[in-house]
């Protein structure tokens, strides 16, 4: 079954250490959902500064897990420096939220968390 994250990418970061991979996955499961929600709320409230902070904060973790939303996170970051309304990034936000939620389920399954 196709995964929405790259176990190989995670393994590379962890040096192949399965226990460390599980710790990193657990940390991701703990830290990313509130950050994702905060970014959603910030965009919904048109709080561009806060939206940028959370998008930027999540970016390295999303990259480390090989989650294919880099362009969408970058688009959200770029939007925060414009006067465009939040509808401009609604598709990007939806892709990030959808992808990350799928990864959360997959990590729980793959690491028995």
pTM of the model: 0.94
Q: Can you tell me the distance from the alpha carbon of 68 to that of 36, in angstroms, rounded to the nearest whole number? A: 15
pLDDT score at 2: 87
**Cα 94 → chain centroid:** 11
Dump pLDDT digits (tens) for 27-65. 999 999 999 999 999 999 999 999 999 999 999 999 999
Maximum alpha-carbon separation in the chain: 45
Q: What CATH number matches the domain at 7-110, 1.20.120, 3.90.1530, 3.30.70, 3.40.50?
A: 1.20.120
pLDDT above 90 coverage of the chain, percent:
97
pLDDT above 80 for 21: yes
pLDDT above 90 for 1: no
pLDDT score at 67: 97
Cβ atoms < 10 Å from Cβ of 90: 12
Would you list the domain boundaries of the chain?
Answer: 7-110
């Amino acid at each position: 079954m196709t995964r929405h994250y790259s176990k190989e990418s995670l393994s590379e970061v962890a040096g192949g250490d399965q226990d460390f991979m599980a710790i990193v996955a657990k940390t991701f499961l703990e830290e990313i959902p509130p950050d994702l929600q905060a970014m959603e709320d910030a965009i919904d409230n048109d709080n561009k500064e806060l939206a940028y902070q959370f998008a930027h904060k999540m970016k390295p973790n999303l990259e480390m897990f090989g989650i294919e939303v880099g362009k969408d996170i970058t688009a959200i970051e770029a939007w925060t420096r414009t006067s465009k309304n939040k509808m401009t990034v609604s598709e990007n936000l939806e892709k990030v939220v959808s992808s990350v939620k799928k990864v959360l389920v997959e990590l729980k399954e793959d690491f028995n968390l």
